[in-house]
Amino acid sequence: MTIITFCNIKGGCGKTTGAISFASWLERYQKKRVHLVDANQQGSSNYWLRYLDTAMTSSHITDPDKIIELLPELNEEYDFVVVDGVPEVMEINKNLLCFSDSSVSPIQPVGLDIEAFCNKTLRLIKLARKVSRGLPSVAAAYLSRASVRSSSKQKALPQLDKIPEIKLLKTIIHDRKVVGDCFTEEAVIWDFKKNKTFLDSTQSAVKEFESLSQEIYELLKEI
């Protein structure tokens, strides 16, 4: 039983897409019993999940006290609990991290986003570790929504790799149209996997999310 929280206080970095994609990968390809927790007031991931072809269950929990009450119970019931965190510095994020075996932070490779992660999200992870005496055990990060042609990702990688508290994943998720269209198409990236008639960029997106999911999964085995 493992809890993974996709966490970054910066909005628009790909937390919801990452959480949905990884949770559905666990269920679809690893045959795991997975529960998705949407902690955001908007409820985007909980809403998205309703329209997917999946038996995965979900909860929309936005009360910090309810997180403390319900996360341990869900952890006992399912193989994996995947949490879509909140894009703000709030008590609920600290509570989520205090009960998470791992945090995974998508970060856009631009100066303000890297600065926000280092000054706020990373501080929150460190605080949770002090409060919980060690959780999350593993804090991982990956570059998300990177421009295919921009060199900004090559500049961002050395910056993030220097942070000792963070395991920087090798996979880079690029900003591709198919990823952004998944929500409106009532689909998840894996729905495009077998259809070879799609554009090469679509298949590249599928491969990137496969690589990311496998990296996170292997990381969790070390806990």
**pLDDT surpassing 70 at residue 196:** no
Which range of residues forms the domain containing residue 114?
Answer: 2-221
The enclosing domain of 200 has a CATH number of 3.40.50.300
Q: What percent of the chain has pLDDT over 70?
A: 97
Characterize 13-44 residue by residue with b for buried, 16 or more Cβ atoms within 10 angstroms of its Cβ, and e for exposed.
bbbbbbbbbbbbbbbbeeebebbbbbbbeeeb
Q: Two tokens at 78?
A: 């399912």
> Stretch 141-164: mean pLDDT, rounded?
94
Q: How many CB atoms lie within 10 A of CB 157?
A: 15
Helix (H/G/I), strand (E/B), else coil: 105: strand
For residues 75-94, average pLDDT = 94
- According to the model, what pLDDT value does residue 90 have? 85
Give per-residue pLDDT as tens, 26-74. Answer: 999 999 999 999 999 999 999 999 999 899 999 999 999 999 999 999 9
Give how many domains the chain has, as a whole number: 1
Mean model confidence pLDDT for the chain: 94
Residue 66 and residue 71: Cα distance in Å, rounded? 8
Provide the whole-model pTM: 0.96
How many other CB atoms sit within 10 Å of the CB of residue 196?
8
